[in-house]
Amino acid sequence: MEVAPHVVIRSKDGTNANYNEPTTPAMRILSTTSMGGGTPRSSGEFYSMSNNSTETLASEYPAQPTRGPMRPPHFRRSSNLASHHPKQPESLMMGYAQIQGSFTLDGSLINLGPFEQVKRKAVVGGQGGGVIGVEPSKRDSGLLRSFGWGSISNSIGELLGAGEVSSIKDMRGIASSKSVPLLSTPQSILFVDLNLGPGEHKAFEYSFQLPKGLPPTHKGKAVKISYNLVIGTQRAGGSKEQQVRSVEIPFRVLGSVNSHGEILGHDLMTPYIILRDQAKIKTVDKLSTLSEIKKLKAPKTDTTINEFLTYVDELLARPRQGSSAGLLSPTAYPGSRRPSAFEDAATATEAINLAIMRSNMASEGQQSPNRFEIARNGQRVGVVMLTRPSYRLGEVVTMAIDFTDAEIPCYAVHSCLESAERIEPHLAIRSEASIHRVTRKVHVSASEATLYSRRMVFTPTIPINATPEFVTTGVSLEWKIRVEFVVPSQETELEREAPSTHPLLEQISRDERGGLVLVAVENVACESFEVAVPLRVYGAVATGLEKLERDEALEEGLVV
């Protein structure tokens, strides 16, 4: 940037500091006209100015005698913000943790009237109750007040605002909110009067066992279910610093099963409002936590080999018995092994594994759960077969269609893995077909021409971020493989009975010696029908990408 040679910088006393250059007559004229009468400048002088903000109007005026010491041009005083301040210790009056779960409904699909009374139940669980008409400042706890901590008892209750009676404000906010409570726990105090020096940190472990039967996290059309871990802190100081600051951390719930692997349902009209603090809180050393994680990740090669050798020795030493006794399990303890396959599971992982293993079993007189024979007007089209009817999130579904000995040919097959929400009839506003069309979500689809094919295979992968199957009193989620078969129309089937015609060829010429020229037809008269093969999808249990994310969260934590 070019700087004019005659630059005037104002001093602290208001005068202009001048460099000892001679004053030209043009500058004298500018001084008498601009300073005295305020005459505006010409266009040439205006455009000769630089756009830099540091050049003021005083820089264009003639120099005046100097009264104070001169400063160099473009002198900048160092900013106070750039100065380094030593870190001060932090003082936190308290910190708490709380778990909240809620769901929202689509008013165009579901009647929202019955859920209004459910919202009022959150007033008790969300803020720990309250007396209508009593100011929060008049409800200090006597025990905490005796120690000078009377404001702590009200800090949690003032999350939604201060100055207005708590219960009335809560009821107004919840009545206008679209979310309906699903789970609410009281605030669990993590610490009180915590002082941290510069660079010092402390870790606290908060553990809470979720009630059984909670629906999984879901982002659908008819219903959206979410769970959050609320963490709040309050600093010491004035009224501004003492405001409670909270952050909501969403987490994912994968649903519940019983000991037999059956999916548990939930009543949306009865939320879990827990008034008693059931959480477990303890101070955790971060170094010890990392060492425990490394021990869990350490390979157990020797233990696995020893268990396998012990299992082989027991098989060799075991006397011969009937085939009904079954094989021993290599992962079970010798004293607890039983030949029965219907034992109860101790954890949800074992229950899901046993349920998937038993899903292919069918009692006498019942239809096979993984084999379906498809027919059209009493005539066989094909057989749909699944490796098993139950899967986890992230697994690959294998479906095969066998067209051997088919009585009706199949021109093409369109398959898709989909999930759809089902609304109970007493809450639904639209018809079942309309709700299915709106809430249907296709995850994987494929089309294949099956003309003269004997077998067709469809192998979709269930997304690991999808929602597993769940059941509630209002809305449920179902998984299915929808298969659409394209077959000849009934008129074409009648024409096929004539031996002189072919359904896929047409004659274009014939000579005198009986020769025929046939080409493929451009259009085929056909019709389609579809079938829905039911699937059961369980929540992923620490497998695949979720196990990787869990390990990373334990090592590094989640940034808040």
The rounded mean pLDDT for the chain is 74
Q: According to the model, what pLDDT value does residue 425 have?
A: 93
Strand, coil or helix: what is 170? helix
Q: How many residues does the chain have?
A: 560
The alpha carbons of the chain give a radius of gyration, in whole angstroms, of 39
pLDDT class for 1, splitting at 50, 70, 90? very low
Flag whether pLDDT at 203 surpasses 60.
yes
pLDDT tens for 466-511 read: 999 999 999 999 999 999 999 988 765 555 555 556 767 888 888 8
Average pLDDT (355-366) is: 81
Report which of residues 98 and 321 the model is more confident about. Answer: 98
Nearest CA-CA partner of 462 in 414, 401, 398, 368: 398
pLDDT number for residue 517: 86
Q: What's the confidence (pLDDT) of residue 551?
A: 54
Enumerate domains of the chain plus CATH numbers. Answer: 9-75 (no CATH), 90-291 (no CATH), 371-489+525-551 (2.60.40.640)
**Residue 139, pLDDT score:** 44
Per-residue pLDDT at 59 = 43
301 exposure class (CB count in 10 Å sphere: 0-12, 13-18, 19+): exposed
Count the Cβ atoms, other than its own, within 10 Å of residue 432.
11
What is d(CA 1, CA 52) in angstroms, rounded to the nearest whole number? 9
Does 24 have pLDDT greater than 60?
no
Q: What is the pLDDT of residues 106-133, one digit of tens each?
A: 999 999 999 988 887 665 544 443 333 3
Pick the residue with more confidence: 403 or 242?
403
Q: Which two tokens mark 38?
A: 């305020």
Q: Say what percent of the chain tops pLDDT 70.
A: 60
**CA pair distance 225, 475, nearest whole angstrom:** 11
CA distances for 140 relative to 164, 204, 233, 276, angstroms: 16, 27, 19, 20
Q: Scanning the structure block, which residue is given the tokens 């949800």?
A: 348
How high is the pLDDT of residue 61? 45
What's the first-to-final CA gap in the chain, in angstroms?
45
d(CA 369, CA 460): 19
Q: Could you tell me which residue, 188 or 53, shows the higher pLDDT?
A: 188
Band of pLDDT at residue 20, cut at 50, 70 and 90: very low
pLDDT at 30 over 80: no
State how far the Cα of 389 lies from the Cα of 129, in Å rounded to an integer: 47
- Going by C-beta distance under 8 Å and a sequence separation of 6 or more, which residues neighbour residue 541? 254, 348, 349, 352, 392
More reliable by pLDDT, 238 or 18: 238
pLDDT the model gives residue 532: 95
Show the tokens assigned to 98. Answer: 């709380």
- Return the C-alpha torsion angle 192, 195, 196, 198, nearest 10: 160
Instruction: Provide the pLDDT for residue 483.
Output: 97
Mean pLDDT for the stretch of residues 37-54:
43
What confidence category does residue 73 fall into, taking pLDDT thresholds of 50, 70 and 90?
A: low
pLDDT at 145: 43
Q: Has residue 76 got a pLDDT over 70? A: no
The answer, yes or no, to whether residue 51 has pLDDT greater than 60, is no
pLDDT at 202 over 70: yes
The pLDDT, as a whole number, for residue 361 is 82
- Report residue 98: phi and psi, to 5°: -155, 145
pLDDT above 90 as % of the chain: 37
Count CB neighbours of 155 within 10 A.
Answer: 21
pTM as predicted: 0.66
pLDDT at 31: 40
Mean pLDDT (whole number) for 553-558:
52
Task: Please tell me the distance from the alpha carbon of residue 16 to that of residue 31, in angstroms, as a whole number.
Answer: 13
**Model pLDDT, residue 127:** 46
Q: Which residues pair with 399 in a beta bridge?
A: 386, 458
Mean pLDDT of 291-314: 67
Which of 162-166, 352-356, 396-400, 517-521 is predicted most confidently?
Answer: 396-400
For residue 70, is pLDDT > 90? no
pLDDT band for position 541 (50/70/90)? low
Residue 319 has what pLDDT?
A: 65
Highest mean pLDDT among 12-21, 74-83, 188-197: 188-197
